[in-house]
Amino acid sequence: MTLDKQTVVIIGAGECGARAAFALRENGHTGKVVLIGAEPLHPYERPPLSKAGLADGAEPVYVAPRQRFAEQDIDLKTAVSVTGIDCAARQVALSTDEQVAYDALLIATGATARRLPFGPKPGKRILTLRTFEDALNIRPHLGEGRHLAIIGGGFIGLELAATARKSGARVTLVEGLPRVLSRGVPASIASAIAARHSAEGVDLRCGVSIAELEETGKEATIVLTDGTRIVANLIIVGVGAAPNVALAESAGLAIDNGIAVDDRLRTSAAGVSAAGDCCSFPLALYGSRRVRLEAWRNAQDQGTLAARNILGHDQPISAVPWFWSDQYDLTLQVAGLAEGAATHVTRRLGGNAFIEFHMAQDGRLLAASGISEGNAVARDIRIAEMLIARRARPDPEKLSDPDIRMKSLLN
């Protein structure tokens, strides 16, 4: 069968799946493209959900207008679930009782908000935030006179806390580890973020353990192991996300902290790829260590890469991991992975803005983490990203000197 006649089926109509569908067309594929999403909405951006998406009347920020999918001849099926994958027959079963045959399959099922292993299941007063529907459920609990209790001091929990405080709500944030942002963010930046939240009136409680959650008609309660009770109008659980692998696992695909793919995003089954939050992959920049990234840019990059590789381009994963978070007027950006760093140097950019550069034992730049008001660190983080991609070993003294332009280090 020629490329022009092939059918590509994409399971998951989120950022990654939508980008892959458009990338197939942009790279010349003229065969059938089927994009299947379980949510009733067509593909939308998730990062705004913890920020502007919580404002009254805010609509989803769509990846593209719905008509653009039709214009690109993408068969978009929303409010439809895939109930099974038959890799031998190369077809998927839908909740509508249809069977859809494929020549190439991309699984981009994303992730689901993690649940706590105790307490009642999420209800009217205990919620998570992952979908636009979740945001709609949270909105009525924001504003003056409201008290939100947030479990989890990662990006989602802290962004929610900032949004809730700006709405006038009282906020208590509970984190089991000794500090917020324990994963992937240096202590100096985490300290700056925590100080800002405290200054804004957030009651931060780190290093505490939860015994149970209670929910009544008008309030919910966090009971700590020391007996302290935190009573709120709403509890939001923000303790990370779990990759959606059930469908892949039932089809016999290899699983390793997500759907296991190689450096071309190929799964263990012929003709089946996976991309985005649902998969783990070897990253050559870091010794082919297998990682899984829950990040907006990664979803975009891998959606595009998966599409190109389905069409035969045979390109390895090469993008440098990149994350960002907006809280109040602060922007936090991280490029690369700091795990394994032997030393670090700090570049101070004036005011409270600074960047930490994380270096390997051999001097190679592994990661850069920056924080500032607005986008003051954005340019230098972007250049750091390029240095990381080149496996560069920049002079630490030059990295730390704000009078030396970062761009000069690219030479």
Tell me: the pLDDT tens digits for 240-285?
999 999 999 999 999 999 999 999 999 999 999 999 999 999 999 9
Q: What is the DSSP letter of 62?
A: B
At residue 333, the 3 state secondary structure works out as: strand
pTM (two decimals) = 0.94
Q: Which domains does the chain have, with CATH numbers?
A: 3-112+242-310 (3.50.50.60), 115-239 (3.50.50.60), 329-410 (3.30.390.30)
Strands 74-77, 82-86: pairing kind: unpaired
Q: What are phi and psi of 99, to 5 degrees?
A: -115, 125
Q: Residues 6 or more apart from 386 whose CB is under 8 A from it?
A: 410
Residue with tokens 């399959």: 105
Rounded to the nearest 10°, the torsion over CA 238, 241, 246, 248 is 160
Query: If you average pLDDT over residues 374-392, what whole number do you get?
Result: 95
Rounded to an integer, what distance in angstroms lies between the CA atom of residue 191 and that of residue 370? 13
Q: Are 8 and 102 in contact (CB under 8 A)?
A: yes
Residue-wise pLDDT for 207-232, tens only, equals 999 999 999 888 999 999 999 999 99
DSSP string, 89-133: TTEEEETTS-EEE-SEEEE---EEEPPPSSSSPS-SSEE--SSHH
Residue type, 57: G
Q: What is the pLDDT of residue 162?
A: 97
Structure tokens that stand for 326 in this block: 């907006």
Strands 241-243, 91-94: pairing kind: unpaired
Residue-wise pLDDT for 94-148, tens only, equals 999 999 999 999 999 999 999 888 766 667 899 999 999 999 999 999 999 999 9
Strands 91-94, 99-101: pairing kind: antiparallel
Structure tokens that stand for 343 in this block: 């030393």
